[in-house]
Each structure stands twice: as structure tokens, then as C-alpha cells.
Amino acid sequence: MRESTIVKEKPWQSENVREKTRRGLARSKSLLLGRKGNDGLIPKIIIYVLLVSIGFIYLYPLLYMVSQSFKSLDDLLDPTVAWIPRSLDWDNYVKAWHVLNYMDTLGSSLLNSVLPAIAQTVSCAIVGYGFAKYRFPGKTFLFGVMLLTFIVPKQVIMIPMFLLFKEYGMLETPLPFIVPSLFAQGLRGALFILIYYQFFRTIPVALEEAAQIDGAGTLKTFFRIILPISMPSIVVVFLFSMVWHWNETYLASLYLGNAMTTLPLELKTFNDSFKAMYTGTSKLTDVNESIRMAGTLLIVLPLLILYLFAQKRFTQVIDKTGLTGE
């Protein structure tokens, strides 16, 4: 009978096997968890799942609005039609366009939002630069008072401001929004000064000293040197100011009265305007959800277009100033 031979593993062979096993585990760990523990496959999957989930939560109202705005009345009443309508009903936008008197109302909305936003962008930049780069008596006290104005509710000063604008004959015009903005006040003026203050503090003093050596004065340094490199903060202040002035309905209805109107104000009376325009002229007797969603989308459309052009600068200033929102 042939005896079986037992092959003994040599020490160097055993070490090679352990080394290969160790390298395989290290590669698997590096692939799954990454070299630093945050750049592997598993962390990336978790991050993408969170981003998609949170993004869907924020985008859901907009997606719902777009989906509903294109539905016909039959699609609205059909429970089997959820997100995608069987046919795109553009007539909803036509009706909403006429009810809102879109072009005329858009012009007055831009007048009451763009001009105050431009005024605040310039005036708050000047005030923020002064606080960031200059020393003067009472600077800390004035800066604290300026921040204090941010936490005072607008309802507290609403009546005094109304009486003031009435005395100067500014009511039923855009002046109640434009004049305070020229003096770094208005809606959220203190926040815009703070954004500029934080941004200007990051600019090296050597840059201004070099401009002064070259013969540039204070104004020339500010407008020719500081402002061009502060474009991210300028874009964000303009964006925030325009959005807040655009969405302001309470003060707008108080100051503008019946002389002017804005798109957000028209949305408040959308149902009544629709009934007055279409009742008796067609088969429609009441506004449906699709027409309301179409009107709402037309109102937010200018802001969406504005953000698409400004979002790159917006994210830059968020990183540089540490701004996290209200």
C-alpha cells in the first residue's frame, strides 16, 4: 500500500499567504470605507442617498406645482393620473396670464423689488466697508445698534413708518421701499451690512495699502479695487434683497394701496379675479387647482431664473462668510 505523503508548508510560504490576505483586506477596506474613512464606496452611497432624499424634499413642492399646472380638468378628476398628465394643457397658463395681467403686474413688481435691491446693494456695501476697515469713536456701539434693528419686528415700526411716508407724500408709490434702501435700511438691511462686513474682513489690508501707494484715494480704492473682488457678496445681497422685496405682501399692500399692485398681491385675489373674468364667458364657473398652480409658477418663475444665473456666486459667498440663513 502506497503511503500518502504530507507536504509541510514552508515558513516563507505561510508569510506570503498572510501578506496576500492582509493586502486583500486592506484593498477591500479602502474600497468600501476609503483611505480616510470618508471617500469610500459606503460613505459615498450614504451621502448620495441623503442628498437625493433632502433634495427631493425641497424640490417636491416645485415638481408638484409643475405637474399639476399642466393637468386638464379631466386629469384632475381622474385618480389614476398622479404625476404625469395624459396631455399638456397649456390653456391653464393662458388663463393665469390674463388673470394676473402678467406683463403690467410684472413691471410694477420689478419696480418695487429691483430698484430697492440695487439701492440696498450699494448702500449696505458702503456701510459694511466702513465697519470692517475703519476705526472711529462709538464703532462698537453703532454696530450693536445696527444689529439690534435686525431683531426688531417690522410690525413694531409699521405704524410710525406709515405716518412718516404719508406726511412726505410717498404712499401709493415705490418710494417707501426705495428711500430706506438708499440709507442701508429697508427689509433686512442689517443682515446685508453684516454679510458685507464679514466679507470685507477677509480682504488683506496690504491690497488697500498697495492701492494707496499707487495714489488711489479712499473712494477709488473702494470702487475700483474692493467692489470688483467682492462680486460674490454683491450678488448674494442683491439676490436676497430682491427676493424679500418681491415676496413682501403685507407692507406692499399697506404702502401701495390701490395705486399699484405686484404679482404676489395678485395671487391673494387670484380666485376672485378669475371669477370676475371668466364667469359667464365660458363653461368655467370656478378656478381649479391646475390654473392656480399655473399662476403660482408664473409668479415664482422670475425668481427661479434669477437664481439660476446667480447660484454660483451665491454658493461662493456662503463658503466665505459662513452665512447659514435665518
Q: C-alpha distances in angstroms, 148 versus 37, 119, 145, 151, 186?
A: 44, 21, 5, 6, 14
Buried b (16+ CB within 10 A) or exposed e, 53-67: eeeeeeeeeeeeeeb
The full set of domain ranges for the chain reads 22-69, 102-321
Residue 154 has pLDDT above 70, yes or no: yes
3-state secondary structure 79-129: CCCCCCCCCCCCHHHHHHHHHHCHHHHHHHHHHCCHHHHHHHHHHHHHHHH
What is the pTM assigned to this prediction? 0.77
Average pLDDT over residues 133-144: 88
The pLDDT tens digits of the residues spanning 280-314 come to 555 555 678 888 889 899 999 988 888 887 776 66
The 3-state DSSP class for residue 261 equals coil
- In three-state secondary structure terms, 251 is helix
> C-alpha angle 264/270/272, rounded to 5°?
140
pLDDT tens digits, residue range 312-325?
666 665 555 444 44
Model pLDDT, residue 280: 59
- Distance from C-alpha of 13 to C-alpha of 131, rounded to nearest angstrom: 73
Distance CA 67, CA 293 (A): 9
Phi then psi for 284, rounded to 5 degrees? -75, 135
Rounded percentage of the chain residues whose pLDDT exceeds 70: 80
More confident: 127 or 47: 127
Q: What is the pLDDT of residue 246?
A: 92
Output the average pLDDT for the chain. Answer: 81
Per-residue pLDDT reduced to its tens digit, 11-57: 555 666 666 666 666 666 666 666 665 666 777 788 888 888 888 88
- Here the cell at position 279 is 364667469
Q: In this structure, what are the phi and psi dihedrals at residue 282, rounded to the nearest 5 degrees?
A: -155, -175
Cβ neighbors of 170 (< 8 A, separation 6 or more) are: 176, 179, 255
Q: Which CATH number fits domain 102-321: 1.10.3720.10, 3.50.50.60, 3.40.190.10, 1.10.10.10?
A: 1.10.3720.10
Task: Give the C-alpha separation, 194 to 127, whole Å.
Answer: 9
Instruction: Look at the block and give the residue holding cell 460613505.
Output: 43
Q: Is 145 left (phi over 0), alpha (psi -120 to 50) or beta?
A: alpha
Across the strands, what pairs with 279? 282
Residue-wise pLDDT for 161-193, tens only, equals: 899 999 998 888 889 999 999 998 888 888 999
